[in-house]
Amino acid sequence: QVQLVESGGGLVQAGGSLRLSCAASGRTFSNYFMGWFRQAPGKEREFVAAITRSGGTTHYADSVKGRFTISRDNAKNTVTLQMNSLKPEDTAVYYCAARRTYSSGTYYADGLFDYWGQGTQVTVSS
């Protein structure tokens, strides 16, 4: 089992920044491929970003590419999502997720992630 706890959400004006963190406990953190997803009201959950076990490879949704940065610190068991130039359409509950396996062709598939955090709300005002 892996327990994930997100933090760092809040209310920010458009153009602002937020930094989300996800603290992991339980199994060896460095064994897991990590991702961030989000779900806006009335919409399906969508992929945001992901990072491989070593941190050497990252993936981003087109909608956040160039604005968001995912990183991890395996010594501190944390994964971080730095969000810059935020837009109102980034408003959502953001979830951290962990997955034992990795495939370059399915990194975005939420159904393949094994563990999820409780989510943190991000609200971007216009």
With vertex at residue 96, the alpha carbon angle to CA 26 and CA 69, rounded to the nearest 5 degrees, is 120
pLDDT for 45: 97
User: What is the C-alpha separation between 74 and 60, in angstroms, rounded?
Assistant: 20
How far apart (Å, rounded) are the C-alpha atoms in residues 67 and 51?
16
The pLDDT of residue 63 = 97
pLDDT value for 42: 95
Is residue 107 scored above 90 in pLDDT?
A: no
pLDDT of residue 1: 86
What DSSP element (H or E) covers 15? none
For 6-59, the pLDDT digits (tens) are 999 999 999 999 999 999 998 799 999 999 999 999 999 999 999 999 999 999
Q: Would the pLDDT of 111 be above 90?
A: no
Instruction: Say what the pLDDT of residue 27 is.
Output: 79
pLDDT for residue 39:
98
pLDDT digits (tens, 9 = 90+) for 54-93: 999 999 999 999 999 999 999 999 999 999 999 999 999 9
Checking if the pLDDT of 102 tops 90, the result is no
